[in-house]
Amino acid sequence: MKIIKDKQIIEDSWQHIADDEEIGNGDITVSLSRWSSEKNTLANHSGNIGVRIAPADNVADIADDLNKINLIAVELPAFTDGRAFSHARLLRSRYGYEGEIRAVGKYMADQAFYLQRVGVNAFELEDTEEYPAVISTLNDFTVKYQASTN
């Protein structure tokens, strides 16, 4: 499927593995709780590993593992749930994570600008027809008041 990464629409092969799903091959993301309980076996996985941060998760729980993680997906189960914004901000500013942070879930193209400001650099939406709008809103503002990640 396609995602947006660094303002470009690209092909993407990462698979999001549910907690009750078998882990196959290739690049995969797992939930933070699965990562926490299975990280020793996951270390032997052949592909890249990513971790999904649910709204109620505490990102401090993976602070020590960030060098083993190639992607962090911050989840927005609904566009009104703003916890992902703080998660991304903390991952970038406090814990110095430099890999891909991807916004996943149900959110609006019009939230992409703020998501980018807090450190999200990749966007995955079910409705890929939204992607041109996402890319366009990333340029909504040329000025800002607050220091943030971007």
Partner 1 sequence: MYQYNDDDQTLIDERVTQYRGQTERYLKGEIGEDEFRALRLMNGLYIQTHAPMLRVAGPYGLLSSKQLRMLAHVSRKYDKSYAHITTRQNIQFNWPDLKNVPDILADLASVQMHAIQTSGNCLRNTTTDHLAGVCTDEIEDPRAYCEIIRQWTILHPEFAYLPRKFKIAVSGSEQDRAATQLHDIGLHLIKNDAGETGFRVLVGGGLGRTPVIGKVIRPFLEKKHLLSYLEAIVRVYNLNGRRDNKYKARIKILVKESGIDKMAEWVEAEWQQIKDGMEVSDERYAETKAHFTPPTYEENAHQDSSFDANKNQSAAFATWIKYNTADHKTPGYRAAFVSLKAPDSPPGDITDKQLDAIADLADQFSFGEARTTHRQNMVLADIKQADLFDLWQKLDALSLATPNIGTATDMICCPGLDFCALANAGSIGIAKEINEALDNIDYLHDIGDLKINMSGCMNGCAHQSVGHIGILGVDKKGVEWYQLTLGGSSENEAALGERLGPALAKDQVTQAVSTILDVYIKQRLDEEVFLDTVKRIGVNPFKEAIY
Residue with tokens 């190639």: 70
CB of 26 or CB of 132, closer to partner 1 = 132
> Does residue number 113 form part of the binding site for partner 1 (CB under 8 A)?
yes
> Does residue number 133 form part of the binding site for partner 1 (CB under 8 A)?
yes
> Does residue number 114 form part of the binding site for partner 1 (CB under 8 A)?
yes
CB of 121 or CB of 137, closer to partner 1 = 137
Nearest to 52 by CA among 78, 34, 68, 26: 34
Pairing assessment for the beta strands 8-11 and 2-5 based on DSSP bridges: antiparallel
Tokens of 141: 């503002």
CB of 28 or CB of 31, closer to partner 1 = 31
| 28 bridge partner residues | 15, 49
Q: Are 146 and 25 in contact (CB under 8 A)?
A: no
The DSSP output letter for 143 is: -
CB of 43 or CB of 143, closer to partner 1 = 143
- Alpha-helix residue ranges (DSSP H) falling in the chain: 32-42, 83-93, 112-117, 131-137
| 15 bridge partner residues | 28
What track of x and - describes contact with partner 1 for positions 9 through 48 (by CB under 8 A)?
Answer: ----------------------------------------
> Does residue number 81 form part of the binding site for partner 1 (CB under 8 A)?
yes
The DSSP output letter for 21 is: S
Contact stretch for partner 1 (CB under 8 A) within 16-24, 36-44, 46-54, 109-117: 109-117
- Which of 2, 19, 94, 98 binds partner 1 (CB under 8 A)? It is 94
Binding site for partner 1 (CB under 8 A): 55, 79-83, 85-86, 89, 94, 108, 110-111, 113-115, 117-118, 133, 137, 140-148
